[in-house]
Each structure stands twice: as C-alpha cells, then as structure tokens.
Amino acid sequence: MSDFQIGILVLGALVLLGVLLQSWWSARANAPRQADAAAEGGEQDGKTSFTEPVFDDSGFTDFNFSVSAPRRPAIDSLIDTVAAVNLDPMVSAVSGDAAVAAFPGSWRVGSKPFLIEGFNADAQEWETPVPGARYMAFQTAVQLANRAGALNDIEYSEFVVKTQAFADVINATPEFREMRDEVARAKELDHFASQHDAQLGLNLRARHAAWSPGYITQVAAQHGFVPGQLPGRMVLPAPLDGLPPLLALTFDSQAALAEDPAQSAIFDIVFHLDVPQVDRAEQAFERMCQAAQTMAQTMDGIVTDDNGQALPVQALDSISNELQQLYVRLAQRDFPAGSALARRLFS
C-alpha cells in the first residue's frame, strides 16, 4: 500500500473520529439536565413533605358535614341567597342528630354548593349542625355565583326543593326570597367576578439543553416549591395549613410519569398565580417573578409570555401595577384577595 493510500485511510479515520466525537458531544450537550444524585436522594427520603389542600366550591378543604366538631359559619348574604328555616312554635329546639339525619345526599345545587347551618342553643351562634348539639333555628343557602357562572332559575328551583325536603324532616317551615331578585343579584355578582378574575402565568423556556423532571424538582425546591397532588405539579405552600398554595409550578406530566424520567426532555415550565385565592400581603406575584428569573439564570432559560415572547423587567412591573389596582377593587367590594369569600366566589 502506497504512502498516499495510507494517508487517505488515516485522514478518513480522523474524519470519522471527528464525526463521532461531535455526535457524542452534541448528544451530551443536549441531553436533559439531571438533578444532583445526593440532593435528589434526600428528597426521595421524604425530608420535604406537603399535602396540597383540596378545595371545593365553598372555599373549604373539608366539605364533609358528618363531622365531630362544628365548622365555623360559612353562609354570608353577600355571596349566598339565604332561606330561613323556622321551627314549629311548639318546638323549642331540634337535636343535632335529627338535623344531621335530614341532611341531603348531595351538597350541590347544579354547579353551586348548598349549605345548612343551625343556631346552637348553647353556644348561641350559627354553625354546621353536628350530633349532640341542640338548635333553635336553621338556615340554608346556595351560592349566587362562582367560576361556573351565575345562579339560574333552574338552580334556584332545585335549592327550594332541597331546602323544603330538609325542612319537612325536622317539621320546620322555610322562607324563601323572591327568585327573580336573587337571580338578578347573582348575575350582577357574576359580572363583577368575571371582570376581576385574574389568573396569571409566566413561562420558563430552556435556551439550549432540556431539563429532566428531577432537575426541575431539585431547582424548584431551592425556592420553596414542594411536590403537589398531581405528577408534574409543584406548589409554594401558604404559611397557614389548609389555605391554597401561593403559587403553582407545572411541567409535562407525561414526562414525570415516564418509565425513566431521567431521560424525559422538558423545555417549558409554567408558573401560575390564582390572584383572588391568595392574600395580597403574601406578594405572590413578586415572588413568582423572582423565582422565575432566578431559576432562569440557574437553568439557562428565559422568562416568556404564552406566545414565547421574552418578558423584560419593565413588562413585569407594568403587570404588578395593574395587579395592585385589582387588589383595591376586590377589597372595595368586600372580596379581598385570599379571604374566605373571595376563595368561594373565585372557585
């Protein structure tokens, strides 16, 4: 073999080696970033645990009325249409056991929560009836509006039927408000809610290499996020147990459920703030922006809107200013963000 042929073979080998090295380097550079093994193991050992509360349309975590302790009053004429349920004049009180036995099978009227409260003869306050107590009067209510819309004629009629059934069992007489007036009030409240319902989101998009679920979880945990109820969901817990999380962070749930999550490639993370559900004092939007920007630096990402456009600091400041005005309008209507009434209305 001539020197020329040998040179060609060597050159070809070098070219092939270069292609293989470039392919290896490209695969390594673009492989999903992985979590630190030691830190990831610590999370799996259960050092961080959190049970995300589940809220029904009433804004409470516990909607089971067969409880051993009374719940605080929930009915409020600001958000509910209320029916008085008056006892027979010959009856001074009804036992909690009888009231609980008369509870309906479902605590919903259409898309709205249905509530029953009794006036405790000993405590002299309204509460959800419980066995062992005595009640001098009762009241039922259905919520006027929520994110499913305003109370309508059909739902109001169902409310009347459900209340009458409860009253019949305890030998009481209900008093209902005029349906036309209450439905009109529901429409007005729903209009206000639709004009002031803000759910804000920020996207964090990878610039180059993708992220693995473990890597996202590890970085997010450094900012206080913990695993939520669903795969691909993390939350920043509220300071008090039982309240909605301050923020949520979500990514591809299928990637989180993959047989080998470490090989899942994730390019987008979404931060979410349900404004009416979180107290203004928590400064949740500012914390969301800070977390997104800091994680972007750590993860080589960029903060964008839903259309993939980068969000500069000026744009975030503008959103923050508009948000402050929204907080004021909610408070002026007696639905301050994070309050029990706001959580019910915007649910």
Q: Tell me how far apart the alpha carbons of residues 98 and 204 are, in angstroms, rounded to a whole number.
A: 55
> How many beta carbons lie within 10 A of that of residue 187, not counting itself?
16
Q: Bridge partners of 138?
A: 85, 118
pLDDT at 59 over 60: no
Q: Tell me how far apart the alpha carbons of residues 192 and 229 are, in angstroms, rounded to a whole number.
A: 31
Mean pLDDT of 60-68: 46
pTM: 0.81
Same-domain check for residues 86 and 224: no
pLDDT for 175-186, tens place per residue?
A: 999 999 999 999
Q: Tell me how far apart the alpha carbons of residues 42 and 39 are, in angstroms, rounded to a whole number.
A: 5
Q: What is the CATH number of the domain that holds 240?
A: 3.30.1400.10
Nearest-CA neighbor of 284 among 236, 240, 318, 251?
A: 236
pLDDT at 271 over 70: yes
Same-domain check for residues 160 and 145: yes
Q: How many domains does the chain have?
A: 2
Same-domain check for residues 142 and 206: no
pLDDT for 279-329, tens place per residue?
A: 999 999 999 999 999 999 999 999 999 888 999 999 999 999 999 999 999
pLDDT at 17 over 60: no
pLDDT for 166-215, tens place per residue?
A: 999 999 999 999 999 999 999 999 999 999 999 999 999 999 999 999 99
Same-domain check for residues 215 and 321: yes
pLDDT at 4 over 90: no
What is the reported pLDDT for 306? 87
Q: Tell me how far apart the alpha carbons of residues 284 and 101 are, in angstroms, rounded to a whole number.
A: 43
Same-domain check for residues 313 and 250: yes
Nearest-CA neighbor of 276 among 333, 236, 327?
A: 327
Same-domain check for residues 110 and 187: yes
Between 268 and 57, the more confident residue is 268
Same-domain check for residues 186 and 148: yes
The answer to whether residue 26 sits within a structural domain is: no
Same-domain check for residues 138 and 231: no
pLDDT for 83-137, tens place per residue?
A: 999 999 888 899 999 999 999 999 999 999 999 999 999 999 999 999 999 999 9
pLDDT at 161 over 60: yes
Same-domain check for residues 93 and 205: no
